[in-house]
Structure formats: structure tokens, C-alpha cells
Chains A and B, each alone.
Chain A
Amino acid sequence: QPALTQPASVSGSPGQSVTISCTGTSNDVGSDDLVSWYQQHPGKAPKLIIYKVNNRPSGISSRFSGSKSGNTASLSISGLQAEDEADYHCCSYTTVNTLVFGGGTKLTVL
């Protein structure tokens, strides 16, 4: 069982916004701001899209944003586009010097 809990799937129409949650504990998500998010298209390697809860690497669209409240982190995608259809994975550093992922969320653009 993945350490972090994500919804298995979310969907939205083009132009709409969606939010994906990632729930952990006080030993991981709730312990600091070291939460990251990855986008993975079928058959491809994951790609970093958010780091340190709400920071975007260079080249990542501003349509992607992150937040955190307590033990739950969230990824929001605004102005949905067909190319956003992918799997999204959250990750957190833990208090015992390890990293844990969520089970991944499949985003379908209707």
C-alpha cells in the first residue's frame, strides 16, 4: 500500500480546473515543505512539475500550482488541455530520511 493517499482518478473538460489531493501523516507531508509532484505520460518517465509544495521548475506552465494544509498536499491544474491527460504522482520526504509516493492519479480530459 502506498504511504500517501491519492484519488485513483479525476476528470475534467478542456478549460476547466481540477485538483488532486495527496494525504499523508505528520511524519511525511505534515512534517515540512518537501512535497513534490510528477507528471507521467503513458510509457514515459516521470517529470517534475512542482517542488517544495508550490514551486514550478523552469518551463512548467503556470497552470500547474501546488498547496498544502496540514497533512494534505494538493495539485491544481487550471485551463485543462488535452496534453494534461496523464498520471500524477505526489511525493514527500519523511522524518526518517526516506521518501514516499502516493499511488498516483489518472487525469482524464473529457
Chain B
Amino acid sequence: EVKLVESGGDLVQPGGSLRLSCAASGFSFSTYRMHWVRQAPGKGLEWVSGITNDGYFTTSVASVKGRFTVYRDNAKDTLYLQMNSLRDDDTAVYYCAKGLVNSWAWFDPWGQGTLVIVSS
């Protein structure tokens, strides 16, 4: 069974930093692209970042470029999201999701999410 478990969510002040983790199991982690998707309270989903299986290529939504970095450790089957210069509007549940082998196209499955609250 594919399982994704996020952790690292917390209350952080504006301008602060946080690192999210996503532990993967049940599949060959190093074969698949991975993603982070977030959902602000009461809002829709927003794709945040994606990373290729080898970690050499990443892509992100414009609003997080220069502030968020996605990376992975294939030896530990773990995906990360380093978030710096956090803003109030980064408050959301952050989900990690398994992508495809050779495409960015869709996400399946998703983890249960971890809550990030940015507030003073």
C-alpha cells in the first residue's frame, strides 16, 4: 500500500522558516516525481512545487519562487519542502502527493496533510 506521511507543520511568525517532510512507503520512491500541494482554510487547492525522481529538476508556482525549495532524499524515501520568508497567505494545509514517472500531470495518492499557520 502506498503511504505518504507529512510532518513538520507548526505555528510560525511572518518572516520565519519551516521545513516540511513527507515520508513515503509502499512504492519505489526514487522512480517517481513528487509534489507539494496546499489548501488555505476554506479555499481550493493550490499546487506549490514538483520535483523529478532524481531531484535534478524542480518547478514551482510563481508565488513561492525564491522562498520555497523542494528537495528529496531518495536514500531515506523522503520529500522535503524548505519554506523561508513565510507570509500570512502561506497559511494552509500542505499535502505531499505522488506524481508520475515521466510526467507532471496528476497526483495519486495524497498524504493526510500537515498544517502550517503563519501568524504573529
Across-interface contacts of A97 in B (CB, < 8 A) = 59, 104
Across-interface contacts of B60 in A (CB, < 8 A) = 98
A98 x B59 contact (CB < 8 A): yes
Measured CB to CB, the closest approach of chain A to B35, in angstroms, equals: 8
B105 x A93 contact (CB < 8 A): yes
Across-interface contacts of A45 in B (CB, < 8 A) = 95, 109-113
Q: Verify if A100 is at the interface (C-beta below 8 Å from B).
A: yes
Assuming the contacts A36-B105, A45-B113, A51-B108, asked whether A100 and B44 have C-beta atoms less than 8 A apart, the reply is: no
A side interface size, CB within 8 A: 22
A57 x B47 contact (CB < 8 A): no
Assuming the contacts A46-B95, A52-B105, asked whether A101 and B113 have C-beta atoms less than 8 A apart, the reply is: no
A58-81 interface code vs B (CB 8 A; 1 in, 0 out)? 000000000000000000000000
Across-interface contacts of A47 in B (CB, < 8 A) = 109-110
- Total residue contacts A-B, CB cutoff 8 A: 65
Q: Is the interface of A mostly helix, strand, loop or mixed?
A: strand
A98 x B111 contact (CB < 8 A): no
A27-71 interface code vs B (CB 8 A; 1 in, 0 out)? 000000010101000000111100110000100000000000000
Measured CB to CB, the closest approach of chain A to B97, in angstroms, equals: 8
A48 x B109 contact (CB < 8 A): yes
The winner among B45, B50, B107 for most chain A CB atoms within 10 A is B45
Measured CB to CB, the closest approach of chain B to A22, in angstroms, equals: 11
A98 x B95 contact (CB < 8 A): no
A103 x B44 contact (CB < 8 A): yes
A101 x B46 contact (CB < 8 A): yes
- Apart from A45-B113, A102-B44, list 15 A-B contacts with CB within 8 A: A2-B46, A34-B103, A36-B106, A45-B95, A46-B95, A46-B107, A46-B110, A47-B110, A57-B108, A93-B105, A97-B59, A98-B61, A99-B35, A104-B44, A104-B45
Report A's interface with B, CB cutoff 8 A: 2, 34, 36, 38, 45-48, 51-52, 57, 89, 91, 93, 97-104
